[in-house]
Structure 1
Amino acid sequence: MRIAIVTDAWAPQVNGVVRTLQALRGELERMGHEVLVVAPDGFPSMPCPTYPEIRLAFAPSARIGRMLERFGADAIHLATEGPLCLAARRWCLSRGLPFTTAYHTQFPDYVAARTPLPTSLVWRYIRWFHAPAQAVLASTPTIERTLRAHGLPQVRPWGRGVDRALFRPDGPRDDAMPALPRPVQLYVGRVAVEKNIEAFLASGRPGSKVVVGDGPALEGLRRRFPEVHFLGARSGEALGAAYRSADVFVFPSRTDTFGLVMAEALACGLPVAAYPVTGPADVVTEEVGALDDDLNAAVARALTRDRAACVEYARRFDWRASAEQFLAALAPVGEWRTAA
């Protein structure tokens, strides 16, 4: 099958959406499918307001349509709600072509954290954008229920996976972390206001706090919390080494739909402490971590969890199974293209 994925999030951005789509493409190609990714590279772009590290790309619908036609797409997936996917959505609708979408990000909460816009207004846009899709893919049961409650009944499950070649318990450790006062409490992800990292860094829990990642809030947090170890962005073996060298993974976000980094941490044998909210509530159990409205209490309980149990639990996150769910939800366009 020839599968076209249109996305406003792609390398060099580093986030869960990009990593999910990259892993999906790799798995689909290993299964014998051809994949075209229509991404921001190659189009005129501008910095995203309040988040200049992300660039918003713009292209006429006709140009994206020509790319999809030349590729001969058998199915079209619109991964994000940004301008490239808006253009692709417009082109598909004008020709009666079906497509699927995905809800990767708690977009209403992200916008509310950065602007005075009410979440109700953003949800109107989300509902409008996804309503014509044949299926809206959601990463967890909680997100499925949320989307249905906002008037999107065509939700289909689409789980996530872990690259076990990179994220495993028996690999190399980070050279610097063993010398830090224990316990080492690790955060991995974008360093941005919506990630609520300040709640983690301001906690009085003894030990060492380590942040792996980059983003617009990094310099401000460095100035406010000079005792915290900010290691910058990491990937591949270096990221796996950071997970393996810590004692607990702290996930302070209240706005994530899934939280891929939690699954990666667990695969490395690292228990997770988080708030009992969407994302962690679907990923973390009491066997492998702790959820609590008091983040310090969650950290204290998570530190008692068995690392081997975390590794075993993480086996449920599988990219092949994720790709199969994605394929099952796709809407073939062949008959529609002939009719058009």
Structure 2
Amino acid sequence: MAHRGLKIALVFEIFHPVVNGIITSGQNLAENLRALGHEVIFLVPDTGEFREPTLGGVAVYRIPSLPCRSYPGMRYVLPWNRAVGEILTREGVQVLHITGPWFLTMAAVRAARNRGIPVVHTFHTMVHEADYLLYMVRFRRLVPLVRRLGWRFYGWYIARCAAHTAPSALACRVLTRQFPCSRPRQISNGVDTALFRREAPSLEELRRRYPWFTDRTVLFVGRLGREKSLDVLIRAAAILRGRPGLERFRLALVGDGPSRDSYRGLVRSLNLEGCVHFPGYLPHGDLLASGLLHRARVFATASTTENQPMTVIEAICCGVPVVVPDVAGIRELVGENGLGVAPGDPRAFAEALEALCTGDDLHRGASRAALAMARRFDGAAVARQMLDLYQEVLRRESGRAPKRCRAPRGRLALGGRLALRGRLAPERSGRYTFRYDEKNDDKSDDRSCNF
């Protein structure tokens, strides 16, 4: 379907120099939207570190912010910040696309609604998972209460968006369970598959920079936080150390994060300094140019909080077999291209890693299957799906008067009664009841999420 040129604003709560899956997929979406003849701008919190006026040809507008101590990388922005509205008006933005619920997003949603600009929301992060909520509270026993309050806070955003998307079937189910009127549409994260088909440095070139790297290196790339469960991979490495045929086995944990020192301490306590390595954070372009991803024997993650993780998709696009926990959300990315194992079980991970590190036939078959699967994540196709949604929203919202939109009152954040009367969908009225079913939240379901 052809579209007239649109002006889209993408909002990020975390931005460069930090790089995560949301930023990577958002940049890819912007690149492909521009290739299709549309204009994109980025609204990001000003960290004082990223000073470039553009990124990949996209104008970057930095909004004054303060650091968030409980979650490194996140920033506080005043919800009534006037600069956001001025930017939307001056740039002639027609669609606002938000990628997560926080205070810059709140300011952007308020400004957009007050100007009659429709808002599209993508549910990227499983914010209800305990490992994320423990950044906000010290005691696990408080997690259920904080989760309920968090969903109520999230409801403010849900009620003010014209459409919702999620990259995985699991995320669609979670959002539908909490907010039945949201009707999320499943649209995958996209990548530039051509980037991963280019010639990688040889093993000899790679070893000149990383002398410890071998042809039996297992790679993880991402945030070194507690939610990534890297202790499981480290303990799996301890199990594999010294096994016949695995003398060259190495585990590389690429990235940085608040739990880095804790993971390093675990490696020292298990005497794994020669086996487990921390190359540090690498910008995305440097990671691809380094050859670490292309030359890895296996890509592994033990995280159970993922919603179609970009790092796993990128490994698939490189033809690298994957080992992941067998849980909804990430299960959708594993078929013949890798192995899914019991979550949180170092021995199960060790057995799967050993099978792919020592079984050449199994490894070759998984690599071929990965390259075949990569076509599903072509960024241009994903951008066309998103454009169809933008155009659908614009047709539906055209002619509607702007609605005055205020930030939620203090009692909302503190857990007071949430009044969302008739706000979740035009055809519904009455009080909306929030609920959370922790026992069923991770169950697999093959039903379509495209309502």
TM-score (norm 2): 0.70
Q: Distance in 2 between matches of 1:339 and 1:279?
A: 35
Identity of aligned residues (%): 30
In the alignment, which residue of structure 2 is the partner of 1:289? 338
Q: Distance in 1 between matches of 2:402 and 2:214?
A: 66
Pairs within 5 Å for 1:130-209: 130-152=158-180, 153-168=182-197, 170-173=199-202, 174-175=206-207, 180=213, 183-203=216-236, 204-206=239-241, 207-209=249-251
In the alignment, which residue of structure 1 is the partner of 2:21? 16
Residue pair 1:169, 1:269 contacting (<8 A) in 2 also: no
Q: Distance in 2 between matches of 1:64 and 1:162?
A: 28
Q: 1:38 aligns with which of 43, 52, 55?
A: 43
Q: 2:301 aligns with which of 225, 230, 251?
A: 251
Q: Distance in 2 between matches of 1:74 and 1:263?
A: 30
Stretch of structure 1 that moved more, 168-177 or 309-318? 168-177
Partner AA of 2:277 in structure 1: H
Q: Distance in 2 between matches of 1:292 and 1:162?
A: 26
In the alignment, which residue of structure 2 is the partner of 1:326? 386
Q: Shift of the alpha carbon at 1:55?
A: 3.0
Stretch of structure 1 that moved more, 100-109 or 143-152? 143-152
In the alignment, which residue of structure 1 is the partner of 2:425? none
Residue pair 1:111, 1:117 contacting (<8 A) in 2 also: no
Q: Shift of the alpha carbon at 1:159?
A: 0.7
Q: Distance in 2 between matches of 1:93 and 1:74?
A: 11
Q: Distance in 2 between matches of 1:74 and 1:94?
A: 13
In the alignment, which residue of structure 1 is the partner of 2:93? 73
Q: 1:122 to 1:298 in 2, by over 3 A?
A: farther
Q: Shift of the alpha carbon at 1:90?
A: 2.1
Residue pair 2:114, 2:403 contacting (<8 A) in 1 also: no
In the alignment, which residue of structure 1 is the partner of 2:377? 317
SS at match of 1:229: strand
Q: Distance in 2 between matches of 1:259 and 1:339?
A: 35
Q: Shift of the alpha carbon at 1:181?
A: 5.8
Q: 1:209 to 1:69 in 2, by over 3 A?
A: same
Partner AA of 1:225 in structure 2: V
Q: 1:334 to 1:34 in 2, by over 3 A?
A: farther
Partner AA of 2:132 in structure 1: V
Q: 2:352 aligns with which of 295, 298, 302?
A: 298
How many residues of Structure 1 are paired with residues of Structure 2 in the alignment? 339
Q: Shift of the alpha carbon at 1:44?
A: 2.4
Residue pair 1:275, 1:292 contacting (<8 A) in 2 also: yes
Q: Shift of the alpha carbon at 1:265?
A: 0.7
Unaligned runs of 5+ in 2: 1-5, 47-61, 242-248, 343-347, 405-451
In the alignment, which residue of structure 2 is the partner of 1:265? 315
Does the alignment pair 1:90 with 2:110? yes
Partner AA of 1:102 in structure 2: T
Post-superposition Cα deviations, 1:5-44, rounded to whole Å, max 9, x if no partner, equal 2221222221001111111111111111011211113332
Say which one has the larger Rg.
2
Q: 2:80 aligns with which of 32, 49, 60?
A: 60
Partner AA of 1:205 in structure 2: L
Stretch of structure 1 that moved more, 303-312 or 197-206? 303-312
Q: Shift of the alpha carbon at 1:223?
A: 2.6
Residue pair 1:177, 1:184 contacting (<8 A) in 2 also: no
Partner AA of 1:172 in structure 2: P
Aligned CA-pair RMSD: 2.4
SS at match of 1:274: strand
Q: Distance in 2 between matches of 1:28 and 1:169?
A: 23
In the alignment, which residue of structure 2 is the partner of 1:117? 143
TM-score (norm 1): 0.91
Stretch of structure 1 that moved more, 17-26 or 224-233? 224-233
Unaligned runs of 5+ in 1: none
